[in-house]
Amino acid sequence: MRKGIVIIYMDDLIIPAKDEDEGIEKLKKVFEVASKYGLEIKFKKCQFLRRKVEFLGHVVENGTVRPSVAKTIAVKKFPVPTTVKQVQSFLGLTGYFRKFIPAYSKIAKPLSDLIRSDNPFVFEQPQIEAFEKLKKLLTESPVLSIFQQGKTTELHTDASQQGYGAVLLRKMENCILFNTCLRKLLQQRRSIAAMNLKFSLLSTL
């Protein structure tokens, strides 16, 4: 299959298109390849020429992506963790959507520190605040825009001794967010100057 026709994850795939005509042409190519290699398509599970579709826990609609309702409900109903395993489950659930939350790693740090084997399990005010903030941010319908080539785009970066991050957005009257990235800094790199960390970040993007 020619690159750019489909997006595949395991046995799920989505075929992006600018309009109905392009969608039909891409469908024809997909069916031709499936027929050529004897691939079976379960049409009962297919959705064709939709402007809105749910894919891998995300809702894709009119050039935007957001977490699905089922996922946001799961986050909203998640109980206050009482064990390390429950903290890991919560971080796994919210971490899947970390690109929707600027500074996710920084916000989640009080929780992620709990899963280190050398730390006692103490769920106090810093952990409660981190837990509630992540729930709030992910249940307020965060939305990302799908990147479009040719549009004026800005990359904002920042770095400190705690971590480094970047935000990619399209500059308009209202800034449209494409993606976010934030990572904790490894202990051995915390002596590096912040400006050098920013340059290091740019080289890895």
Element (H, E) at 35: helix 20-36
CATH number corresponding to 65-140? 3.30.70.270
Q: What is the mean pLDDT of residues 136-164?
A: 74
Q: What percent of the chain has pLDDT over 90?
A: 42
Q: What is the mean pLDDT of residues 175-183?
A: 55
Looking at residue 94, what is its pLDDT?
Answer: 96
Looking at residue 185, what is its pLDDT?
Answer: 53
Residue 173 or 115, more confident: 115
Residue 6 or 184, more confident: 6
Nearest to 74, CA basis, from 107, 53, 96: 96
Whether residue 75 has pLDDT greater than 50 = yes
Whether residue 54 has pLDDT greater than 60 = yes
Q: What is the mean pLDDT of residues 116-122?
A: 83
Strands 144-145 and 163-170: unpaired
Query: Which segment of 33-37, 70-74, 134-138, 141-145 scores lowest on mean pLDDT?
Result: 141-145
Q: How far is CA 47 from CA 11, 52, 60, 151, in A?
A: 15, 10, 13, 30
Task: Please tell me the pTM assigned to this model.
Answer: 0.71
Residue 5 or 159, more confident: 5
**Rounded CA separation 162/205 (Å):** 19
**Rounded CA separation 16/29 (Å):** 13
Residues of the chain with CATH 3.30.70.270: 65-140
Mean pLDDT of the chain: 81
